[in-house]
């Protein structure tokens, strides 16, 4: 899915886009606990919320790299 | 008339005023009315795309789930950001094609890609079947909010009529511009209300977040995590993946993407929208705070937890502001739904039936149909009944079935035949209907399966059937390899 057909624009770091999906959901069975709490939040909640922030960060990085390479293909 | 009601009425009037003013003297052809002439910048596209995560469902239902179900509520926080991250690549592809072909609806996309008007009719019918219950839910939420805030002095029936009339009026006049303007106001209000309540209530009642969650954990062990059976981690993961897949298949968000003036808008939004979704956390905090403060709300009444704890804590004026924010969370998605339903019924169904219809009559009919869909939805809302709830659960699954056909159409030429795409959709929808009517779950379909499989969201089954049928028919009706047309 992250690799929508766009031959000219295919770049390896675009796979970073898959990281939030895989990490946020893949971690769920392992952090399905209340303790230790993080910033006053139960661990599971802190994990999801943390990855929401990291999703923004990851997409920011992808956007930054795309802009740095310039020549957005169109 | 109490202070709360005054504020509610003022907010309602401002929303209608904004919605009407949004037209700004423009001539409204179908492209201007449905997709704002493809001229929206980052902010308008942002609020339209954020619309999905801040509806009455999230406002009342998000706090209601936190109150009644606890840990599983977190799925509502997870699916939006995941869908937004995928949108970085998905939406520019859709947008480019839509602009090139001058598309105004989601069904148009399928018509153009698969070169089939019948495909458009199929997608249009699926869309409307999913949209109407979604609108009914918004109207129901609106009725609940108004009757709560006015302490019953305005009946929920009167509120539903007033809300639907307002929506119909400004959608007919201003089209998607009306939605975008009111959406901006809505987001400002919901953002401040959610953060204020989500910060204040836990501090006021418990002294802090840690203390609040410790108290809940002591009173209800296991409430803050996912249970081992039922809404288990495997339910959570499958539900988030399904919901993210269905996210942009909602016709109003798909077509909402057409409003952007450049594809860069989507890339910026993919960075900012996930963070924006964090506001939902504050909505959950309100529901969690209510768990020990206003106990005893059973089942669907959990949706009232936000108002009950607010009423116990704040002055009527504050309740009015909260109610006004809630009112807007119903109006904005409602207007997008009406607009979308009118557009697809007129352009993708009527025009196919009456090919001689000119652009003017299609545009005129689209507007007239807004009123018809609104009336029908009001009737369904007031009629009540359980059927609507199951229809709504069906809605998300219905639109999700469009995903495989969309996905295989993304390359320059679709990878599968039109027959295959249509067969997949029909099989998937039939499966959704069967699963919903029979109330089946993976556990009842496969009682021998391990627990982790049994807990999978049953929507996965319909999607698998869809892809299998699509694959088989595609193999049977393989497109001749076409040399590049250029």
Å from B81 to nearest chain A CA?
A: 6
Q: Which of A17, A21, A39 sits opposite B89 (nearest CB)?
A: A17
Subunit contact B277:A14, Cβ cutoff 8 A: no
| Pairwise pLDDT comparison (B48 vs B126), residue with the higher score | B126
Could you tell me if B20 and B94 are in contact, meaning their C-beta atoms sit under 8 angstroms apart? no
From the number of C-beta atoms within 10 Å of its C-beta (0-12, 13-18, 19+), residue B415 rates as: middle
Task: Say how far apart CA A5 and CA B329 lie, in whole Å.
Answer: 36
Q: Which of B84, B226, B275 sits opposite A32 (nearest CB)?
A: B226
Instruction: Return phi, psi of residue A38, to 5°.
Output: -120, 120
Å from B218 to nearest chain A CA?
A: 11
Residue A8 has pLDDT above 50, yes or no: no
DSSP B69: T
Instruction: Return phi, psi of residue B155, to 5°.
Output: -75, 155
pLDDT at B212: 93
Q: Residue B385's pLDDT band (boundaries 50, 70, 90)? A: low
- B358: nearest Cα among B20, B15, B29: B29
Question: Following DSSP, what letter does each residue of B270-331 receive, concatenated?
Answer: HHHHHHHHTHHHHHHHHHHHHHHHSTT--GGGGGGHHHHHHHHHS-HHHHHHHHHHHHHHHH
Residue pLDDT, tens place only, B183-224: 888 888 888 888 999 999 999 999 999 999 999 999 999 899
DSSP B447: T
Mean pLDDT of A55-69: 90
Q: Which helix (H) or strand (E) holds B335?
A: helix B316-344
pLDDT at A42: 94
From the number of C-beta atoms within 10 Å of its C-beta (0-12, 13-18, 19+), residue B409 rates as: buried
Query: Would you state the structure tokens that stand for residue B110, as one six-digit string?
Result: 């399928």
Mean pLDDT of B51-58: 71
Residues in chain B with CB shorter than 8 Å from the CB of A4 are: 89-90, 93, 410
pLDDT at B349: 83
Sign of CA dihedral B183, B184, B190, B193: negative
Residue pLDDT, tens place only, B22-37: 777 777 777 777 777 7
Q: Residue A74's pLDDT band (boundaries 50, 70, 90)? A: very low
Query: Would you state the structure tokens that stand for residue B214, as one six-digit string?
Result: 């410790």
| Pairwise pLDDT comparison (B170 vs B471), residue with the higher score | B471
pLDDT at B201: 92
Instruction: Return phi, psi of residue B260, to 5°.
Output: -65, 145
pLDDT at B386: 55
Residues in chain A with CB shorter than 8 Å from the CB of B97 are: none
- Tell me the pLDDT of chain A averaged across its residues: 83
Sign of CA dihedral B99, B103, B240, B211: positive
pLDDT at B390: 61
Q: Which of A6, A20, A25 sits opposite B237 (nearest CB)?
A: A25
Task: Say how far apart CA B279 and CA B284 lie, in whole Å.
Answer: 9
- Tell me the pLDDT of chain B averaged across its residues: 84
The SS3 call for residue B98 is: helix
The SS3 call for residue B456 is: coil
Subunit contact B217:A34, Cβ cutoff 8 A: yes
Subunit contact B224:A62, Cβ cutoff 8 A: no
pLDDT at A7: 46
pLDDT at B134: 84
Residues in chain A with CB shorter than 8 Å from the CB of B264 are: 72
Mean pLDDT of A6-14: 66
- 3-state SS record for B315-330: CHHHHHHHHHHHHHHH
Q: Residue B52's pLDDT band (boundaries 50, 70, 90)? A: low
Query: Would you state the structure tokens that stand for residue B93, as one six-digit string?
Result: 């592809």
Residues in chain B with CB shorter than 8 Å from the CB of A2 are: 85-86, 88-89
- B170: nearest Cα among B14, B51, B11: B14
Q: Which of A14, A53, A56 to mutate to test the interface with B (most CBs of B within 10 A)?
A: A56
Å from A69 to nearest chain B CA?
A: 15
Task: Say how far apart CA B43 and CA A66 lie, in whole Å.
Answer: 22
Subunit contact B412:A62, Cβ cutoff 8 A: no
Subunit contact B226:A44, Cβ cutoff 8 A: yes
Question: Following DSSP, what letter does each residue of A1-70 receive, concatenated?
Answer: --S-S-GGG--GGGGGGHHHHHHHHHTGGGS--S-S-BTTB-HHHHHHHHHHHHHHHHHHHHHHHHHHH-
Between chain A and chain B, the number of residue pairs with CB atoms below 8 A apart is 129
Subunit contact B226:A21, Cβ cutoff 8 A: no
ipTM: 0.85
Residue B157 has pLDDT above 90, yes or no: no
Over pLDDT 70: what percentage of chain A? 81
Å from A38 to nearest chain B CA?
A: 9
Residue B388 has pLDDT above 60, yes or no: no
Q: Residue B11's pLDDT band (boundaries 50, 70, 90)? A: confident
Residue A58 has pLDDT above 90, yes or no: yes
Q: Which of A29, A33, A48 sits opposite B77 (nearest CB)?
A: A48
Region of poorest pLDDT, from B173-177, B263-267, B367-371:
B173-177
Mean pLDDT of B99-113: 88
Subunit contact A56:B274, Cβ cutoff 8 A: yes
Sign of CA dihedral B386, B389, B395, B396: negative
pLDDT at A1: 45
Residue pLDDT, tens place only, B414-424: 888 888 889 99
Beta bridge partners of A41: A38
| Pairwise pLDDT comparison (B16 vs A31), residue with the higher score | A31
Residue of chain A nearest B282, judged by CA positions: A49
- A20: nearest Cα among B242, B269, B238, B85: B85
Could you tell me if A23 and A15 are in contact, meaning their C-beta atoms sit under 8 angstroms apart? no
- B117: nearest Cα among B355, B423, B377: B355
Could you tell me if B351 and B22 are in contact, meaning their C-beta atoms sit under 8 angstroms apart? no
Q: Residue B225's pLDDT band (boundaries 50, 70, 90)? A: very high
Residue identified by tokens 């008007």 is: B117
Å from B106 to nearest chain A CA?
A: 18
Which residues between 3 and 62 in chain A have a beta carbon less than 8 angstroms from any beta carbon of chain B?
Answer: 3-6, 14, 17, 20-21, 24-25, 28-29, 32-34, 37, 39-42, 44-45, 48-49, 51-53, 55-56, 58-60, 62
Task: Say how far apart CA B467 and CA B475 lie, in whole Å.
Answer: 12
Sign of CA dihedral B96, B100, B105, B106: negative
Residue B132 has pLDDT above 80, yes or no: yes
Residues in chain A with CB shorter than 8 Å from the CB of B278 are: 49, 52-53
Task: Say how far apart CA B251 and CA B342 lie, in whole Å.
Answer: 12
Residue B136 has pLDDT above 50, yes or no: yes
pLDDT at B354: 82
Q: Residue A53's pLDDT band (boundaries 50, 70, 90)? A: very high
Residue pLDDT, tens place only, B403-450: 999 999 888 888 888 888 899 999 999 988 888 778 788 888 888 888
């Amino acid at each position: 899915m992250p690799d929508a057909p766009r031959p000219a624009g295919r770049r390896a770091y675009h796979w970073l886009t898959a990281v939030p999906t895989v990490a946020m959901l893949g971690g769920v069975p392992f952090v399905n606990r209340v303790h230790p709490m993080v910033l006053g939040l139960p661990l599971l909640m802190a994990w999801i919320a943390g990855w929401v922030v990291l999703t923004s960060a990851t997409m920011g990085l992808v956007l930054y790299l795309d802009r740095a390479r310039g020549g957005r293909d169109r | 008339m109490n202070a709360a009601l005054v504020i509610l009425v003022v907010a309602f009037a401002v929303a209608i005023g904004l919605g009407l003013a949004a037209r700004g003297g423009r001539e409204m052809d179908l492209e201007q009315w449905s997709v704002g002439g493809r001229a929206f910048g980052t902010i308008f596209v942002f609020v339209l795309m954020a619309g999905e995560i801040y509806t009455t469902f999230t406002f009342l239902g998000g706090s209601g789930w936190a109150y009644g179900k606890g840990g599983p509520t977190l799925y509502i926080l997870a699916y939006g950001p995941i869908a937004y991250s995928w949108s970085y690549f998905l939406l520019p592809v859709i947008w480019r094609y839509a602009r090139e072909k001058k598309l105004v609806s989601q069904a148009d996309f399928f018509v153009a890609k698969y070169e089939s008007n019948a495909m458009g009719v199929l997608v249009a019918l699926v869309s409307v079947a999913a949209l109407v219950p979604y609108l009914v839910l918004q109207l129901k939420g609106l009725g609940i909010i108004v009757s709560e805030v006015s302490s019953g002095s305005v009946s929920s029936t009167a509120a539903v009529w007033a809300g639907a009339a307002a929506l119909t009026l400004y959608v007919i006049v201003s089209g998607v511009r009306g939605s975008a303007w009111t959406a901006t106001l809505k987001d400002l209000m919901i953002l401040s209300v959610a953060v204020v309540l989500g910060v204040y209530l836990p501090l006021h009642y418990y002294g802090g977040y840690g203390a609040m969650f410790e108290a809940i954990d002591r009173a209800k062990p296991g409430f803050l995590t996912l249970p081992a059976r039922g809404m288990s981690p495997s339910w959570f993961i499958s539900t988030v993946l399904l919901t993210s897949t269905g996210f942009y298949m909602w016709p109003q968000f798909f077509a909402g993407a057409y409003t952007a003036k450049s594809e860069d808008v989507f890339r910026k939004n993919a960075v900012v929208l996930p963070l924006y979704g964090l506001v939902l956390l504050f909505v959950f905090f309100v529901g969690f705070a209510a768990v020990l403060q206003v106990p005893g709300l059973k089942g669907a009444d959990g949706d009232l937890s936000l108002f009950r704890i607010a009423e116990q804590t704040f002055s009527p004026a504050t309740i009015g502001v909260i109610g006004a924010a809630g009112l807007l969370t119903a109006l904005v998605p409602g207007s997008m739904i009406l607009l979308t339903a009118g557009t697809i019924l007129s352009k993708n169904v009527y025009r196919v039936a009456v090919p001689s219809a000119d652009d003017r009559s299609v545009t005129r009919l689209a507007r007239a149909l807004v009123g018809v869909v609104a009336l029908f939805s009001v009737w369904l809302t007031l009629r009540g009944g359980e059927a609507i709830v199951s229809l709504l659960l069906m809605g998300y699954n219905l639109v999700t079935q469009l995903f495989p056909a969309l996905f295989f159409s993304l390359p320059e030429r679709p990878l599968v035949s039109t027959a295959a795409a249509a067969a997949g959709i029909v099989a998937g929808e039939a499966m959704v209907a069967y699963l919903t009517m029979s109330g089946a779950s993976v556990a009842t379909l496969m009682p021998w399966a391990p627990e982790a499989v049994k807990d999978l969201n049953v929507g996965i089954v319909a999607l698998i059937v869809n892809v299998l049928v699509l694959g088989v028919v595609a193999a049977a009706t393989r497109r001749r390899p076409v040399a590049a047309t250029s």
